[in-house]
Structure 1
Amino acid sequence: MSDDANPFQGKMVDILNYGALNLAMGIGYRSGVFDVLDDQNRPCTVDEICSAGGLNRRYMQEWLGVMVCAGIVDLVRGDDDEPRFFLPKSHGDVLARRAGSANLGVYTQEIPLLTTCAMARVVQGFQTGDGIPYEQYPDFHDFMGQLGEAKHRQVLVDVFLPSVDGGRIVKALQRGIQVCDLGCAQGVATILMAQAFPASRFTGIDISGEALDTARFDAQAKGLTNVGFEQRDAAGLRHSNDLSGRFDYITAFDAIHDQTRPLEALQGIYEILKDDGAFSMIDIAAESSLDGNRNHPMGAFLYTVSLMHCMPVGLVDDGAGLGMMWGRQLAERMLGQAGFRRVAVMEIPDDAFNLHFFCRK
C-alpha cells in the first residue's frame, strides 16, 4: 500500500499491524507457545510444536502465519520442503517465561485483557467521568500476579533489596524487623520477602479482598508463619490507629498511583512508620508534564494502560484519578506534603520501567 500521497497512511498501516500483532502475541504467550518454541531450540514442524505443547494444529497454523509475517518466528524449509518454524534465541530472551525480569512477552497480554475488562466502561467514562471499580478487572488482577512473578522473582531479593540504603535494609531484615507491603495485591512480593527473611514479620495491605484471599492461600501453602494480610484502605490510616508507628520498613510497588486518595495514602504510610522508619515507593519512571514524556520509549503503551485501568480505578468515589504517568515531580511534591522531608530518587537495577523513591520519616 503506497503512502506517497499521505505519509500518515503508512503509519496507520503500521499501527493496525502492530495492534493485531500484540493481540496474537498475547494469545501465544498465554497459551505457552513461545515457551514451547524456545524449549525446542530448533526448527519444528507444526505437528511437532502441537505435540510438545498439547495444542490444536489448525489454530497453530493460523497463529504461526501472524508470527512469520511479523518476523517474530522464522520459517525455514528442509529437504522435504515441509515448513518448519524457529524462535531465535534473541527473541526467546525477551518473550519466554525464562526471561525473568527481562520478560517483555508477559506485557503482550495487558492491552487485550484491559480491552476485555473495561473498554465499554472507559468509552462510557468519556461522557460521564465515572471511575471503574477494581471488581471490573478480575482477569487483569491475575495478570498482575503473573507480572509480579516476572518482575520480582529474580530481582527483588537478590538485586533490589540489597540496593536499598546501601545494604542496610537487608541487614535489618536479616536481624528481624516489622515490614508492611502496601498495595500488595496477590502478595507476590510480600511472600518472596517473607521467605527470604524469616526473622522479620511482614504485613500485606490491600483493598481487594479477592486478591488477599489468593495471597493468604499462597502463604499458607508455603508454610509461612511470618506473614499476614489485612484488607484496609491506605488513606484510612492517616489518623492515629492500631498500626500507628508499627513498621520499620514499608514498600509500595506500583501501588500509589492507583489510589483514589493518593496523598492521604502517603500520609497513612507516614503515620504507620516508626520514627526514622524507611519507605520505598517504586513507581513508574516518567515526567509529570506530557511534554516531558513525548520521547518516552513506551509512553503510548503506558498512557494506554493508565487510561484503561490506573486512572479509572483512581476516579472511583470521586477520587483523584492520578494515573500511572503522574511523574517524578508530582510524586516528590506529594511525598513532601505527606511529611517526608528526606526523599532520594534513583534508578532501579534491572528495572527500566520504574524509579525508587526512598524516604525516611
Structure 2
Amino acid sequence: MRMSKDDDFSGRFLQILNDGMLCLMTSVGHKAGLFDTMARLAPSTSAEIAKAAKLNERYVREWLGAMVTGRIIDYDPSAGKYSLPATHASCLTRAAGIDNLAMFTQYVALMGNVEDDIVKCFKKGGGVPYSAFPKFQEIQAEETARVFDARLVSDILPLAGQTDRLKSGIDVLDVGCGTGHAINLMARTFPKSRFWGYDISREGIGAARAEAKKMKLKNARFKIVDAAKIDDREKFDLITAFDTIHDQARPTKVLKCIYRALRKGGTFLMQDIAASSRLHENMQNTLAPTLYTISTMHCMTVSLAYGGEGLGTVWGEQKAKEKLAEAGFGSVDVKQVEGDMLNYYYVTQKKSNDL
C-alpha cells in the first residue's frame, strides 16, 4: 500500500482513519468518566488518574496514548503527567452540558455493531430492525436530557408561540416521546396544562412513567402507541414531534394522524434535522457526512426493515414541507435556535375551517 502525506487525498484519508479510531477512544473516555475526572485534576500520572476515576491503570495508560497522540490530552514527558486543557474540557465533559460533543461518539460503536447486517441489506435490500440497536434508547435519553434541560422551555417551545396558552392550560401530545423527558419537563413547567406522550417502545414508556412518578407529576400521561395508528380526533391544542418523523416507517400516515388529532387552529411543532433534500446543497453542511452515515446505519434502515418509506435522516427541508402539505397543513415556518446547527423547527397550524 503506497500512501504519502504529500498526496492530498491519501493524507486526508490517513487523518480520517485516525479520527475514526479517536471517536471510539473518545466514546470510551466519555462512558468511563475519564474526561470528567481529568477536568477536576491537576496534571497527573496515569496511576493518579486511574485511582481518581476508579479504573484499571493499564487500560487508562493505553487510552491516554491515543488521546495524547490525537492532540486531545496534553502530556509532559519530563514529569510523566497528563492534563485535559480547559478549552477541550468545555466540549468533552458532562459539565459542558449542551456543548458536550463526546457523547455523540457513542453512535460510532453502536452502529459498528450492525455493519455486517447493513452490508447484507446493500446486497439484498430490506433493513435492520430497531431491536438490533439495544443501546439506542439509552444514548437518545442522554442526548435528549442534554438538549432539553438547557433549551426546551426557554428556547424551543417559544418558537410555537404557545407559551401563554401553556401557562393557562391546554392539551399537549408528544409523538415518539421516547423516555418522555420532554413531556415531563413541560408538565413540570406548566402545571395547568395536560400532557400525553405516545411511543411504540415499551422500555421508553416505562422510563417515562418512572421519571414522572419521581417528579411527582399529576399532569403527564404516557401510552404505548404506534404513531401511524393514532386515532385521536381534535383532542390536542399543541402536538410536538422531536426528531422522530423521519424515523417512522410511514411518516406520511403519521403526519396525517397528527393533523387529525389537532383541534382546529392547533399548532404542530416538528423538530428535525437541518439539511436540504438536495445533495449538492448539503456540500457546505459541516455535519453532512455524519448525517448520511447515521441515516444509512440507523434511521433509513430501521424504516425499511418495517417496509417503510425509508426517508432517512437527511430527508431535508423541501421533502419535510412536501410531507406536511400532503398531511393537510398549510403554510410552514422553518425556524432555528441560536447555537443549534443540527436542527430545524417546523411550525404549522391546522386550518381553523377544516372539517
TM > 0.5 fold call: yes
Q: Point out where structure 1 has 5 or more consecutive residues left out of the alignment.
A: none
Residue 231 of structure 1, CA deviation: 1.4
Alignment of 1:344-355 (within 5 A): 344-355=333-344
Which residue is 1:94 aligned to? 91
Match of 1:205 among 195, 198, 201: 198
SS in structure 2 at match of 1:95: coil
Contact map agreement 2:271 2:344 (CA 8 A) in 1: yes
- Cα deviation code 1:300-339 (max 9, x no counterpart): 1111111111001111332100000000011011111111
- Encode CA deviations 1:23-67: one digit per residue, 9 max, x unaligned: 000110111111111122x31222221122111100000000000
Please tell me the residue identity of whatever aligns with 1:199.
K
1:343 to 323, 332, 336: 332
Task: Judge conservation of contact 1:253–1:283 (CA < 8 Å) in 2.
Answer: yes
Preserved contact between residue 134 and residue 208 of structure 1 (Cα < 8 Å): no
> What letter corresponds to residue 50 of structure 2 in structure 1?
C
* One-letter amino acid of the structure 2 residue matched with residue 55 of structure 1: L
Residue aligning to 1:322: 311
Displacement after TM superposition at 1:200 (Å): 1.1
Residue in structure 2 matched with residue 109 of structure 1 by the alignment: 106
Q: Distance in 2 between matches of 1:101 and 1:324?
A: 21
Corresponding residue for residue 173 of structure 2: 180
Distance of 1:124 and 1:3 partners within structure 2 = 34
> Structure 2 CA distance, aligned partners of 1:298 and 1:185?
24
Letter in 1 for 2:34: V
Aligned pair 1:358/2:347, yes or no? yes
Q: Trace 1:262-277 onto structure 2 (pairs within 5 A).
A: 262-277=251-266
Secondary structure in structure 2 of the residue aligned to 1:138? coil
Task: Give the secondary structure class of the aligned counterpart of 1:155.
Answer: helix
Letter matched to residue 158 of structure 1: S
Match of 1:49 in 2: 49
Given that 1:260 and 1:314 are in contact with CA atoms closer than 8 Å, whether structure 2 keeps it comes out as yes
Matched residue type, 2:139:
F
The secondary structure found in structure 2 opposite 1:352 is coil
Matched residue of 2:300: which SS?
A: helix
The residue identity in structure 2 corresponding to 1:208 is S
Q: Is the 8 A contact 1:160 1:348 kept in 2?
A: yes
Quote the residue 1:236 is aligned against.
Answer: 229
Q: TM-score by structure 2 length?
A: 0.95
Match of 2:138 among 136, 139, 142: 142
SS at 2:216 equivalent: coil
Tell me which residue corresponds to 1:260.
249
CA-to-aligned-CA distance 1:242-301 (integer Å, 9 cap, x gap): x21111111111000000011111111101011100010000000001111122101111
Q: String of CA shifts for 1:192-237, please: whole Å, max 9, x gaps.
A: 1112111111111111112111211222222212111111122223
3-state SS, counterpart of residue 211 of structure 2: helix
Following TM superposition, where does structure 1 have runs of at least 4 consecutive aligned residues deviating by more than 3 angstroms?
Answer: none
In structure 1, the residue matched to 2:73 is 73
Q: What count of residue pairs does the alignment treat as equivalent? A: 348
Residue aligning to 2:125: 129
**Aligned letter for 1:156?**
L
State the alpha-carbon separation in 1 of the partners of residues 200 and 308 from structure 2: 15
CA distance in 1, matches of 2:227, 2:217: 24
Q: How is 1:145-224 mapped onto 2 (pairs within 5 angstroms)?
A: 145-165=141-161, 169-224=162-217
Whether the aligned pair in 2 keeps the contact of 1:202 and 1:226 (CA below 8 Å) is yes
SS in 1 for 2:311: coil
The correspondence of residues 19-38 of structure 1 with structure 2, limited to 5 A, is 19-38=20-39
The separation in 2 between residues aligned to 1:236 and 1:349, in whole angstroms, is 35
Q: Tell me which moved more, 321-330 or 310-319.
A: 310-319
Secondary structure of 2:348's aligned partner: strand
**In 1, Cα distance between equivalents of 2:260 and 2:20:** 45
- State whether residues 101 and 351 of structure 1, in contact with CA within 8 Å, keep that contact through their aligned partners in structure 2: no
Equivalent in the alignment of 1:2: 4
User: Which whole-Å CA distance do the structure 2 matches of 1:138 and 1:173 have between them?
Assistant: 35
One-letter identity of the residue aligned with 2:295: S
User: Alignment RMSD, CA only?
Assistant: 1.3
Task: Output the amino acid matched with 1:109.
Answer: Q
TM-score by length of 1: 0.93
Q: Find the residue that maps to 1:351 and give its secondary structure.
A: coil
CA distance in 2, matches of 1:350, 1:213: 32
Between the aligned partners of 1:352 and 1:281, the Cα distance in structure 2 is 16
Q: Distance between the aligned counterparts of 2:314 and 2:104, measured in 1? A: 17
Q: CA deviation at 1:138?
A: 1.6
